[in-house]
Structure 1
Amino acid sequence: MPLKREHKMALYAFNGTWNKDDPEESGPAGKDSNVVKFREAYTAKVYYTDGVGTRLGPIGKILGGLTGAGSRTRVREALESLNENLNRGDRVIDVVGFSRGAALALHFVNEVGHYFNHAPVRFLGLFDTVASFGKPGNDLDIGWKLTLPGNVQKCFHAMALDERRGNFPVVRIKDPSGGNPPGARLQEVWFRGVHGDIGGGENLGLTSIAISWMLEKALECGLPIDPATLEAHRKLWNPSAPIGHNVDPVPDPFRTVFPSDKIHPTVRFRPPQGKLAFNNPPQLKPTDV
């Protein structure tokens, strides 16, 4: 029997660059992104948008991929949908995003606070936030609001430990309030894998770990998540799965992991495999293999 869909809440879901919903890849074992899989597990109504670079044919794909063209249109459309839903009686806002879609989600919740009288956002789930608006690898992102606003109650950020490509700089989320106590409303956690292993859908052994964690956190926050869907994702875990492609011809350094950072318990020390290196911060010991 399908779960009853609630009508006083909604999820606003922003997919990553070039990512779109593929009906043939639906379900936990499909290759849709984790944004789509989160949407499938969420049993209330959903506003969903495909990632930048999925509209206007080949030109749109190139411009969207390189510069994030079309991003502001997607945020505006989501705000219009939110306005309609609030006028119809919605009171609870949940948001999720991957890659540039995660940056859009973060900007969106800032705009929600600005335009809707600091309307509270119950849950913000981010999969490996990468902005790079304007040009590839840009970390200035002028005009985009990428700090955690005060109207967000809980934010969870799954980050790719092994990503090394220069055009994929992760945005570490800053909480200007500091939280009370610190970290009370923001959790950032590292997962084994590259950008697509955390938010994409190709590498099920690793992506299933990140989506399971996000769904678990959503359940803890009271979101209407289907427990059977969560359990189906858990059964796909493979912490030893090979990671995806993570280097340019001249690889960038690994992402910085600070001593106080949280690392998911499935992550273990990995020795190099030929030319393939792994990000093993000091928190991971060779004895963890």
Structure 2
Amino acid sequence: MAADPYCIPCEHYDCWIEIDVRDEHNRSFKGLKATLTDDTGKSETVTLNDGPTLVHGFAVGPITVKLETQPWFKAAQSREVLKDGQSAVPAYVAEKAGYDDTPREHIKATTGDLCLTAPEHPLPEAHQEGKAGKVRLFTKHSYVIEVKGYPINVLRIGVFFDGTGNNTYNAESGLKKVEQWLAETCSDPVQREKELRGCQMGRLPVSDSAANDKTNVWKLYDQYIFGAKTLSTHSYISGIGTRDPVAGKDGMEYRADDMLTKGLDLDFGGENTSIVGKVNQACEQGIVAAITRDLEDALPNIECIHRIVFDVFGFSRGAAAARHFVNVIDQKADHPLVQAIANTPTIRLKAGFDWANRDDVRITFVGIFDTVASSYHPGLNIRLQDDCAERVVHLTALDEVRKHFPLTRITPTAIGTSIPPHFTELALPGAHSDIGGGYYSRWSLRNPNSDPALTECLELERFMSEEATTTQDTESRAYRQAKAYAEEKIAQGWVDRLHPHLARAATPPVGAISLIPYSFIRRRGKDDAWPKKAVYVEVVMSRVVEGEYSRIPLHMMVEAGRAVGVPFKDWDPTVSTLSLESGAIKLPAVNLTKLDENWALAATEQGVIKNLSQQLPATVYRALRRDYVHRSASNQGISSPAGTHKQETTVSKERRHIIGNLEA
């Protein structure tokens, strides 16, 4: 807005100017403060009208127009650019004359042309001062100033929190060792004889997160479309209690899981592998790293980001992490991601970007599998407010009964009689990882002899009774209880047969529940004349369980997301990681493809609470349990025993503890 070199300043302040600042859509900037200054230095500050703003009292000659910088930036950067020739301003200019019947003049300007003060950060080149041409304004003229718009950029971020003890990087390393074990130990006649029991009982050569397959969280991450075309990015956060590999002298170094954190969800020694620690990791490092990686070529061409939306996913404690992340981000401006993005100059947010305003930051989709918190962390918050996200889907496990794996629902109460209209909660047959993924499938393993890696051999329960020394083990109360327990499991479909008496040293037969009784004499002191016999009966189940069923909950979540715009790829069942076809020699009785056809779109229905097992005939549910549903609860390890409830009518009295959203 340079002055005309031939104009001489005049000190008669009787001139006027009329300005009308508009965007390419012909919308005004009503309410913004504009400061107009003549060549003598006289200024007038006015509030822009919805139409022309007339200002009197200037010396004849050039006038500069400047708007208060931050409000101007915020307003200008919110106005969307149009393609060349689509501007609505020329027609508006031609509609009528200006003040005193003066013809209106159409001037094009940029954000930089009208800044009152220099911007804190450089404007994109196309919006810097002078880039629309030289702007010259004079008194006794009427101007319509058209300001160049911005591409409205909405950055979509998918955040994927894996479950406790689930880590894709460790799983990939472990898979190599499992395949080597299958090939060199279980398939080699000489080695197999030495390690026969280990192969028959599915004793993998790896443990913890290295012994799991990739979960549905990773597969969702892999299905998420990212890049410049969709302006979307995705960040995978490994599971609670797991440590990611680090670069070492001889390649990647894989580190053992943090067992204390896996058990208690508390951070020890600065590891930050708890639920809260993983959320902090996502905010401080993971998300920014994903943006700069996935959008490396696009970021230099993005003038500014106007809005950020999040799709958040999680399984198990990762589902708890997803819920905590929602509460950290939603309507908050004091979380670590704010500073992490502010410290990354290639990620440019619009002026006045407000992290606490849902117009600028919104959780669009929350997709979670079987939420388990089991946490002692004082800062954890997994209660979801009704309006926290535009869409929430929760898939839960009906056959999960472990004592230390309570389910936290998204319904207000544990009973689950109501749900917000945009929430969906569906209960499916299956144990915890049948819903969230992580069990091996034959599609995961290249060895045709995959049975050892799919074998599940568990001590389900152990019963004890004190008997007379003359009582046979098989006549004891412990044996009767064990047999009743085993028969109930058979009736539920877990296996087809009972092996009533197995020696302790014997290998349990596959496809059966075995009762293993043993006893010893218990004396109450060396002079006890009436010793008792302590009888123990172990209930052991051994079977080969196929691993494809978890792909149905995966497909359901993909379709639920796609229905509301989450950028997932089209579902392709021919991809090995998504296939429902069985590679078993003896084909399972349940047709998973047919089941998938019935359930794939179930999670797209909003405002519903459903138990999908009620859609299955009892015979189909039993067959599904036998061939595909894993048994997670056992009598082995502190985290494994089944939860029981005295009001449960079954012999085992197994029942999962359930928590409502309002209690979370």
- Give the match for residue 242 of structure 2: 54
State the SS of the aligned residue for 2:408: coil
Residue 196 of structure 1 pairs with residue 405 of structure 2: no
Give me the whole-angstrom Cα distance separating, in 1, the residues matched to 2:565 and 2:364. 9
Secondary structure, in 3 states, of the residue corresponding to 1:8?
Answer: strand
Is this contact kept in 1: 2:217–2:314, CA < 8 A?
A: yes
Match of 2:642 among 251, 260, 278: 251
Matched, 1:8 2:196: no
Kept in 2, the 8 Å contact 1:175–1:186? The answer is no
Give the corresponding residue for 1:77: 281
1:101 CA displacement:
0.6
1:105 to 309, 314, 322: 322
SS in 2 for 1:130: coil
The alignment yields a C-alpha RMSD, in angstroms, of 3.4
Gaps of 5+ in 2: 1-152, 176-211, 227-232, 245-254, 268-272, 293-298, 334-354, 440-545, 582-591, 596-623, 636-640, 656-664
Distance 2:381 2:364 in 1: 18
Indicate conservation of the 8 Å contact 1:148/1:174, yes or no. Answer: no
Larger Rg computed on CA atoms: 2
1:142, distance to aligned residue in structure 2 (A): 4.2
Contact 2:394 2:426 in 1 (8 A): yes
Write the distance in 2 (CA, Å) between the matches of 1:278 and 1:173: 23
| Distance in 1 between residues matched to 2:628 and 2:574, nearest whole Å | 23
TM-superposed CA distance for 1:167, in Å, is 1.0
SS in 2 for 1:227: coil
8 A contact 1:41–1:229 mirrored in 2: no
Aligned-pair CA distance for 1:78: 1.5
Q: Cα offset for 1:7?
A: 8.2
Tell me the equivalent position of 2:34. Answer: none
Is the 2:401–2:654 contact (alpha carbons within 8 Å) kept by the matching residues of 1? no
Cα distance change, pair 188–231 in 1 and its aligned pair in 2 (3 A): farther
Letter in 2 for 1:64: T
Aligned-pair distance for 1:185? 1.6
* C-alpha contact (below 8 Å) 2:224/2:567 kept by paired residues: yes
C-alpha distance in structure 2 between counterparts of 1:103 and 1:92, whole Å: 20
SS in 2 for 1:37: helix
The answer for the alignment partner of 1:92 in structure 2 is 309
What percentage of residue pairs aligned between the two structures are identical?
27
Say which of 388, 393, 399 aligns to 1:156.
Answer: 393
Instruction: Tell me: CA distance 1:171–1:235, structure 2 relative to 1, closer, same or farther (3 Å).
Output: same
Q: Contact 1:17–1:64 (CA<8 Å) still a contact in 2?
A: no
Q: Deviations over 1:158-188 (max 9, x none)?
A: 1000111101111112469xxxx95322111
- Whether contact under 8 Å (1:17, 1:101) holds in the other structure is yes
Residue 62 of structure 1, CA deviation: 0.7
Q: What's the offset of the Cα at 1:248?
A: 3.6
CA distance, structure 2, for counterparts of residue 190 and residue 97 of structure 1: 16
| Aligned equivalents of 1:158, 1:229: Cα separation in 2 | 21
Does structure 1 retain, via aligned residues, the 8 Å contact 2:365–2:389? Answer: yes
Match of 1:260 in 2: none
Given that 1:157 and 1:188 are in contact with CA atoms closer than 8 Å, whether structure 2 keeps it comes out as yes
Aligned to 2:222: 40
Q: What amino acid maps onto 1:55 in structure 2?
A: R
Q: Which runs of at least 4 in structure 1 moved beyond 6 Å after TM superposition? A: 275-279
Which residue does the alignment assign to 2:382?
146
Q: How many Å separate the matches in 2 of 1:278 and 1:206?
A: 23
Counterpart of 2:164?
17
TM-score by length of 2: 0.33
Higher RCO by CA contacts (8 Å cutoff, separation 6 or greater): 1
Of 204, 214, 219, the residue aligned with 2:557 is 214
Paired letter, 1:79: C
Does the 8 Å contact 2:644/2:654 carry over to 1? no
Q: Which amino acid aligns with 2:220?
A: F
Q: Classify 1:64/1:200 alpha carbon distance in 2 versus 1 (closer, same or farther; 3 Å).
A: farther
The DSSP-based 3-state class of the residue aligned with 2:628 is coil
**Per-residue deviation, residues 43-72 of structure 1 (Å, max 9, x unmatched):** 1221111112211844x4211210123222
* Aligned residues of 2:548 and 2:579 also touching (Cα < 8 A): no
The residue identity in structure 2 corresponding to 1:37 is K
User: Which residue identity lines up with residue 161 of structure 1 in the other structure?
Assistant: L
CA contact (8 A) 2:548 2:580 kept: no
**Are 1:34 and 1:211, in contact at CA under 8 Å, matched by a contact in 2?**
yes
Q: Which moved more, 1:219-228 or 1:16-25?
A: 16-25
Counterpart contact for 1:148–1:175, Cα < 8 Å: no
User: Bigger CA drift: 115-124 or 81-90?
Assistant: 81-90
- TM-score, normalised to structure 1, is 0.72
Of 106, 112, 121, the residue aligned with 2:363 is: 121
Closer, same or farther: CA 182–100 of 1 in aligned 2, 3 Å = closer
Number of residue pairs aligned between Structure 1 and Structure 2: 241
Q: Specify which structure has the higher proportion of strand.
A: 2
2:568 counterpart (222, 225, 228): 225
Task: Tell me, in whole angstroms, the C-alpha distance in 1 between the residues paired with 2:562 and 2:420.
Answer: 19
CA distance in 2, matches of 1:209, 1:253: 29
CA distance in 2, matches of 1:174, 1:277: 25
Decide whether the 8 Å contact of 2:410 with 2:419 is kept in 1: no
Task: Tell me if structure 2 keeps the 8 A contact 1:102–1:130.
Answer: yes
Q: Which residue of 2 aligns with 1:63?
A: 260
Counterpart contact for 1:97–1:104, Cα < 8 Å: yes
Give the superposition deviation at 1:228.
3.7
Deviation at 1:229, TM superposition (A): 3.7
- Give 1:31's match in structure 2, choosing from 213, 218, 227: 213
Alignment partners' CA distance in 2, 1:209 and 1:133: 29
Closer, same or farther in 2 for the Cα pair 1:216/1:124, shift >3 Å? same
Amino acid at match of 1:42: Y
Contact 1:215/1:230 (8 A) holds in 2: no
Give the stretch that moved more between structures: 203-212 or 40-49: 203-212
The alignment partner of 1:187 has SS state of strand
